Amino acid sequence: MNVRLRGIGLVIICAVLFGGHCWAQEPGPKMVFEETDFDAGQVLQGEIIEHAFTVRNSGDQALEIHKVNPG
């Protein structure tokens, strides 16, 4: 029983000392997509499909997008 309490205490101490670092967000821009894929269904040859992906910056610095490659 005493060994078990020590183990639990050690886990709590480690969580307090190192836990904040594990959950802290890294500084800089962070690109977040509301959706990551789009299914256009069946498309006839030559038909033009358009779809807009919403991109949000949840970081603490400016997000710069330099190049986009359509899939």
Across the range 54-69, mean pLDDT stands at 92
**Interval 32-49 mean pLDDT:** 93
Task: Give the global pTM.
Answer: 0.50
Is 40 in contact with 8 (CB distance < 8 Å)? no
Under the banding of pLDDT at 50, 70 and 90, the label for residue 56 is very high
* Residue 26: predicted pLDDT: 84
Is the model more confident about 69 or about 40? 40
Torsion over CA of 24, 25, 26 and 32, rounded to 10 degrees? Answer: 160
Query: For residues 62 and 22, which has the higher predicted lDDT (pLDDT)?
Result: 62
